[in-house]
Structure formats: C-alpha cells, structure tokens
Structure 1
Amino acid sequence: MPILGHNIVRIEVEKVQSGSGKVEVSINPKIEELRLGELQLPTGRVKGIEVIVNYIINYSPEIAKASVRLLVFYVPRVKEDIDKILDEWEEKKQLPGELVAEVVNFTTSELMPLMMMISKEMRIPYPIPLPRVVVRQE
C-alpha cells in the first residue's frame, strides 16, 4: 500500500440549528496541497509526498457544518515518480488518478468511523447513510 501514515490536523463540527425531515448530506474531499516529505522508519528514512486533504461535509438544509483536514504520507510505487508528481502539481495542479484514488479511499475509510461517532454525540445526521431494513407488505 502506498500510504504509510496519516494525521488528522483539524476537525471542526458545528451544529447550526435543530431540524427534522429529510436532510441531504454531501461529502467533498479536496486535495489542497502536495509537498515533499520524509518519514523516519526503523529501517531508515523514506522519501514520499505529503498530501493535505480537506473534507467538507455539507448538510441541506444547513443544520450543521463540518470540515476535517488530514495529512497523508504517500509513497508512489515507483520512487522516481515523486519528483514527476510534484512537478506536475506545481505546474498544472494535476494529479495522477492512482494517487487521488488511493488517498481519497484511504482517508474516507479512516475518517468515517470518527465522523459517525461525532455525529452521534452532536445529534446530527450521519455523513453516510446507514442500511435500513424495510418490511414489504405483499
């Protein structure tokens, strides 16, 4: 796996108003910045890319606001790609699809259990829908 670690830098959740009825929730991850990074492991130092990701969770109607900022340490499968990825980001703000998929999938899976717990404590809708059992009448 090309992701060696992550840190949650900031979590902000604010309950704006109480509401009832249908609430729609959208999760918008955005990669904000890439920079060269280095991680100290027992086997030595590893060079990679520090990816800063910001998740914005929108509620409609606006009953709450949430944002989470994470730092992810990403190591491409081919180490020579580090400079190429960083140069492309600096010039065009474009990222390889593999990096985006790995980072967003990893951070979503790490972040959602925490956001579920915070949502429960604040009495706001969960950011992802829970499966529900419906009894059909025939």
Structure 2
Amino acid sequence: MPVLGFNITKVEMEKLGVSAPSGQIEVRLSPKVKEMRLGEIRTPTGKMNGIEVLFRYEIDYNPRIAQGAIEGAILYLPPQKDKIDEILGLWEDEKKIDPVTFAEVVNFITKEVSPMLMLLAKEMRLPYHIPIPRVEVKSSP
C-alpha cells in the first residue's frame, strides 16, 4: 500500500439555495494537490520517509445549489524509495506530479473522502455525487 497515513484537517459544505431545482443536477468533483513535501512516519521498526501530500477535494453542484470541500494530508510512499527525491524535485521545480503518482494519490483520497461526502449530502438533503443502485420492478410478459 503506497499510502501510510491519512488525516482530514477541514470539512466544509454550504447549501446555497433553499429549494432544489427541478431537472438535471450535475455534481463535479475536483481533487487538487495543494503542496508536497518530505514527511516521515514512526513505525515499530523505526522512522520511514515518504511524501506528505496536502490536498483539497472540492464538490460543486450545477445549478449552484451547494458547494463544499474537504482538506487533509496523506503520507505517500512510492513503490521505489529512491523516487521520493525525483517526485519532490518535479513538484518544487514545476508544481507538477507524474501521472502514476497522481493517479495513486487521487484514487486513495477519493476512496477515503467519498463516504464522508455521501453522509454530508444525505444530512443536507443534496443529491449524491455517485448514483445509488435502485431496484426496478418489471412487469412479467
């Protein structure tokens, strides 16, 4: 597992409208990496270096009925430990992340954040960001 630690630091959700509009409502998720830096975690076998990734995961509704964001940090450990300097160097020089690292980080964050977004949407009576399976009754021929 390339992610060793996960921490939420901020949760915000704001309902902008009083009533939900009729028709199609689009939900857009925008994961963003705010910062990357060298981080470490203490394990029973000693300290382990990794990359601390500070993120902001935004959710927007169209039409604008609500908006929100979750911020936090993860400790990412690349499959090859010698890649840490290369990944951090690219971030420091160009504020870019290689596609493989970005995919691993965003997939992990999405998996961790999605249940919280579902709960917030339920409590605030907003549409869910992913479709919920539904049972349909079909008439027999």
For normalisation by structure 1, the TM-score amounts to: 0.93
Hey, what's the Cα distance between the residues in 2 that align with 1:131 and 1:58? 22
Q: Which runs of 5+ in 1 are unaligned?
A: none
Matches within 5 A, 1:1-138: 1-17=1-17, 18-21=19-22, 22-134=24-136
1:135 CA displacement? 5.0
1:123 CA displacement? 0.8
Hey, what's the Cα distance between the residues in 2 that align with 1:54 and 1:70? 7
Q: Describe the SS at the equivalent of 2:129.
A: coil
Hey, what's the Cα distance between the residues in 1 that align with 2:52 and 2:67? 26
1:136 CA displacement? 5.9
Q: Which runs of 5+ in 2 are unaligned?
A: none
RMSD: 1.5
Hey, what's the Cα distance between the residues in 1 that align with 2:35 and 2:136? 44
1:93 CA displacement? 1.6
Hey, what's the Cα distance between the residues in 1 that align with 2:55 and 2:135? 34
1:59 CA displacement? 0.2
1:132 CA displacement? 3.0
Paired-residue identity, %? 46
Task: Note the alpha carbon deviations across 1:55-111, whole angstroms, 9 max, x for none.
Answer: 110101111111111201001111111111111111112212221111111110111
For normalisation by structure 2, the TM-score amounts to: 0.91
